[in-house]
Structure formats: structure tokens, C-alpha cells
Amino acid sequence: MPDPAPHLQGDGFVLRPWRSSDLDALLAHANDEAVSRGLRDRFPYPYTRADGEAFLGGRVLALDGPLRAIEVDGAAVGGIGATLGTDVRRHSAELGYWLGRAVWGQGLMRRVVAAYVPWLMQQHQLYRVQAEVLDFNAASARVLLASGFTEEGVARNAVFKRGQLHDLRLFALVRTTLD
């Protein structure tokens, strides 16, 4: 489905498509062990120029879907996106996001999620948006709870990341109608 709203404005940020000119900002924020530790391994550490070029070239995730750069003061400082469901899960999506450490602790991701998720649900006719959070990532869990998500449960020992097993907390935001 074409993306009819390429930019979303928020309080102190813009959500927009990624651009090749974002490479330096991407590298500055993504090459941080603390940023990558709560993400899937497709977001590596160290985060190299080749990793950034692969991402911005659409070889890691499809850039033509609901994937957005989080821009603050003219530079990309993180990203947010969703993997849309298919077949019987075509009205659901899995949310993912990350933010550079330089802008942590400012309530930015809470504002970003609050702007992005309603738009995502409307544009893609979703009844459900879910997000998975590693057990140690309390900040991400707080973002979701503050955005109206409900914690639905814990998948024990579900993730093996950097030599350790972790529980995976599941959060969801649901609605019963598409209006």
C-alpha cells in the first residue's frame, strides 16, 4: 500500500522517510553498544559504515513501508517502524523503535510513539499493534505503557542475546473497530 503521509510532525521531532544523506547521523547514533543491546541482531554492534549503507539501501528492512527516521533539529537520531502482518494477521503489526543515547531521558520516544501508532493504525487499518521488549529494558516498557499499550505476558527464555538468555515482555494496543 502506498504511504500517503511521508512526514509526521510532533513536539520537537519529525517522522520522515530515511534518506541516503542520513548516513553520518545514523552512524553517530547507531554505533553504540547501549543502543543495540535491546534490539534484534540485525541491528549490529559495532555499527559500521557498511551496515549503515546496507540499511539505507533497503537491504536490511524494506524502506518503502511504514519505517521512519526520527529527526530532531534537522538530523536523524533514531528510527521507528512496523512490520505489517499478512494473511490472517493482515490487520496487525509489530512495532519496533530505537533512539540514540544523546536524546535519551527527554520523553522523546514517548511522544514519537504517541504520534506514530495512531497514524499507523489508521493508515493500515490495524486492530492490533504489538511490541516485544527484552526483560532488562524498563525504559522501553514505560514508553509503551505511557502510550496506552497493555502488557499481555512474558515469554520466558525467549531470546538469546550476547551470550545470555532473556525473557521477552509482550505489549499490545488493540481496538475493536477501524473508525
Nearest to 35 by CA among 44, 22, 24: 44
Looking at residue 29, the DSSP 8-state letter turns out to be H
- Do the beta carbons of residue 161 and residue 37 sit within 8 Å? yes
Cell numbers 497514524: residue: 119
Amino acid 65: pLDDT = 87
**Rounded Cα–Cα distance for residues 137 and 112 (Å):** 18
Amino acid 1: pLDDT = 43
**Rounded Cα–Cα distance for residues 93 and 110 (Å):** 19
Task: Work out the angle at residue 128's Cα, subtended by the Cα atoms of residues 110 and 168, and round it to the nearest 5 degrees.
Answer: 65
Amino acid 68: pLDDT = 97
Q: Which residues of the chain have pLDDT under 50?
A: 1-2, 4-5
Amino acid 2: pLDDT = 44
- Do the beta carbons of residue 63 and residue 53 sit within 8 Å? no
Nearest to 39 by CA among 143, 152, 132, 114: 132
- Please report the domains of the chain, with CATH numbers, ordered by start residue: 8-174 (3.40.630.30)
**Rounded Cα–Cα distance for residues 54 and 58 (Å):** 6
The pTM (predicted TM-score) of the whole model is 0.94
